[in-house]
């Protein structure tokens, strides 16, 4: 929670998240909630406790440091670190907290062996393969040499093989999902043939809802748990029906004024009133991670009505047109995200105005002070 000095509040409904988890369990056999980046801005500890109470016994954090927090919060759950260890402190933490790190290089396996030897404990690893993201992981053709390396280690125990899909949420790129899925099946086959009894994990949210063949033993839902529809705006949008957003972002109306025709609003005078207008000033701006890119593009919710942002978003203030909400008064709560009823602002809609994706909106707005309701 880094933005403590402003008025914006991020309100989290954990119940929506656990309902999403229950929905995902009707589609996938063994989903491990992905709680990286402070649970996509929803709060790692609160979210982990909620999913644990809802039945999750394996969860995935991003960095090893985050995984240690997760393990500390729900000690009875298995905890994966999707990023894996990158410095000496990480290697020590993995052993100390019995974390299952993703490991995608020979160097990592050797350093894990060394750290586990020093700590006098076995360490379980999830072998990370690159099947098409060109990011972290062993190459798809390295399964044999990885098995050779593991043969020489005594403390490192491979329990899982993993990879990540690049296009699971895009129906126009199904073929690439199939390519990656086939490569992954080849890897699993090669590891099993070497006597390594690893589980397979490939599916993210898009694949959970759209590609059952990629489910294997463990699935890794992220955005769908937080109510983002991985297929928003595509021909498969209906697959995400029933997911509920668990984050609302609110602030306050701090001034109401009437401006005459011809009067400009905010820095740079990018908006000028064509007629007399009642405008509202909201205590929210780019210092709250409400992006300046939303200038003259976004809408907010005042008294349940949609109002347009006028001119430039400032550091801690934003102007809106109160025309649709004439009864609004100073002190009213204003929604930048979420809200009640048909006018509620979805994360995808806000992301569209912002020129980004739901993931980034959650991560950034989630850095405001959070409140937990229900």
Ligand X SMILES: *Cc1c(COP(=O)(O)O)cnc(C)c1O
Q: List active site positions.
A: 36, 267
> What is the smallest separation between the CB atom of 17 and ligand X, expressed in angstroms?
13
> What is the smallest separation between the CB atom of 229 and ligand X, expressed in angstroms?
11
Q: Which residue, 36 or 370, is less far from ligand X as judged by CB? A: 36
| Residue 223 is a binding residue for ligand X (CB under 6 A) | yes
257: β partners: 279
The rounded distance, in Å, linking the Cα atoms of 101 and 83 is 7
Task: Rule CB under 6 A: choose which of 31, 33, 41, 222 binds ligand X.
Answer: 222
CA 263, 268, 273 angle in degrees (round to 5)? 25
Residue nearest to ligand X (CB): 222
Task: Rule CB under 6 A: choose which of 11, 13, 164, 216 binds ligand X.
Answer: 164
| Residue 24 is a binding residue for ligand X (CB under 6 A) | no
| Residue 211 is a binding residue for ligand X (CB under 6 A) | no
Inter-axis angle of helices 347-354 and 358-365, nearest 10: 100
Q: Which residue, 201 or 318, is less far from ligand X as judged by CB? A: 201
> What is the smallest separation between the CB atom of 287 and ligand X, expressed in angstroms?
27
Q: Which residue, 36 or 335, is less far from ligand X as judged by CB? A: 36
> What is the smallest separation between the CB atom of 260 and ligand X, expressed in angstroms?
48
| Residue 67 is a binding residue for ligand X (CB under 6 A) | no
The answer to whether residues 278 and 322 touch, using CB atoms and an 8 Å cutoff, is yes
Interacting stretch for ligand X, rule CB under 6 A, among 49-57, 216-224, 234-242, 301-309? 216-224
| Residue 215 is a binding residue for ligand X (CB under 6 A) | no
Q: Which residue, 130 or 288, is less far from ligand X as judged by CB? A: 130
Task: Rule CB under 6 A: choose which of 16, 23, 34, 93 binds ligand X.
Answer: 34
> What is the smallest separation between the CB atom of 34 and ligand X, expressed in angstroms?
4
| Residue 246 is a binding residue for ligand X (CB under 6 A) | no
Helical ranges in the chain per DSSP H: 14-25, 36-41, 44-53, 64-73, 88-97, 106-119, 143-151, 174-193, 205-210, 347-354, 358-365
| Residue 221 is a binding residue for ligand X (CB under 6 A) | yes
Q: 372: number of CA atoms within 13 Å, CB side? A: 12
> What is the smallest separation between the CB atom of 18 and ligand X, expressed in angstroms?
17
DSSP secondary structure code for residue 3 in this structure: B
The rounded distance, in Å, linking the Cα atoms of 128 and 146 is 11
The answer for residues whose C-beta is within 8 angstroms of residue 194's C-beta and 6 or more apart is 143, 144, 147
Structure token digits, residue 71: 């393990």
The answer to whether residues 374 and 9 touch, using CB atoms and an 8 Å cutoff, is no
| Residue 204 is a binding residue for ligand X (CB under 6 A) | yes
The rounded distance, in Å, linking the Cα atoms of 231 and 235 is 8
The rounded distance, in Å, linking the Cα atoms of 73 and 48 is 7
Q: Site mask, ligand X, residues 77-106, x = CB under 6 A?
A: -----x------------------------
Q: Which residue, 246 or 339, is less far from ligand X as judged by CB? A: 246
| Residue 232 is a binding residue for ligand X (CB under 6 A) | no
- Total Cβ atoms within 10 A of residue 330: 11
The rounded distance, in Å, linking the Cα atoms of 124 and 105 is 15
Q: Which residue, 223 or 265, is less far from ligand X as judged by CB? A: 223
- Total Cβ atoms within 10 A of residue 59: 27
Task: Rule CB under 6 A: choose which of 13, 42, 124, 220 binds ligand X.
Answer: 220
Residues near ligand X, by CB under 6 A: 34, 36, 82, 164, 204-205, 220-224
């Amino acid at each position: 929670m880094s933005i403590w000095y402003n008025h914006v509040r991020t309100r989290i409904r954990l119940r929506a998240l656990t309902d999403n988890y229950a929905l995902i369990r009707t589609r996938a056999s063994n989903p491990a909630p992905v709680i990286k980046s402070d649970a996509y801005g929803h709060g790692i500890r609160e979210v982990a406790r909620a999913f644990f109470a809802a039945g999750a016994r394996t969860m995935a954090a991003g960095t090893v440091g985050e995984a240690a927090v997760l393990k500390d919060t729900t000690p009875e759950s298995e905890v994966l670190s999707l990023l894996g260890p990158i410095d000496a402190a990480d290697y020590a933490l993995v052993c100390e907290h019995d974390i299952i790190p993703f490991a995608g290089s020979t160097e990592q396996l050797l350093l894990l062996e060394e750290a586990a030897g020093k700590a006098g404990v076995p360490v379980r690893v999830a072998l990370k393969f690159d099947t098409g993201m060109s990011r972290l992981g062993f190459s798809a053709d390295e399964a044999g040499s990885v098995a050779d390396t593991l043969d020489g280690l005594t403390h490192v125990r491979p329990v899982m093989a993993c990879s990540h899909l690049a296009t699971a949420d895009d129906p126009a790129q199904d073929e690439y999902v199939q390519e990656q899925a086939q490569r992954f099946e080849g890897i699993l086959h090669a590891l099993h043939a070497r006597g390594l009894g690893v589980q397979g994990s490939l599916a993210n949210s898009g694949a959970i809802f759209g590609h059952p063949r990629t489910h294997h033993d463990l699935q890794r839902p992220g955005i769908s748990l937080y109510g983002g529809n991985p297929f928003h705006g595509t021909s498969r949008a209906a697959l995400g029906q029933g997911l509920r957003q668990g984050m609302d972002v609110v602030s306050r109306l701090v001034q109401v004024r009437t401006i005459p025709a011809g009067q400009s609003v905010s820095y740079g005078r990018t908006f000028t009133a064509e007629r007399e207008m009642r405008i509202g000033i909201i205590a929210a701006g780019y210092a709250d991670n409400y992006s300046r890119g939303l200038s003259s593009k976004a809408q907010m919710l005042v008294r349940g009505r949609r109002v347009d942002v006028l001119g430039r978003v400032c550091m801690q203030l934003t102007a809106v047109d109160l025309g649709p909400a004439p009864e609004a008064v100073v002190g009213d709560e204003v929604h930048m995200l979420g809200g009640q009823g048909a006018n509620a602002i979805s994360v995808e809609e806000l992301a569209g105005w912002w020129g980004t994706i739901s993931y980034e909106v959650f991560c950034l707005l989630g850095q405001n002070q959070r409140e937990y309701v229900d």
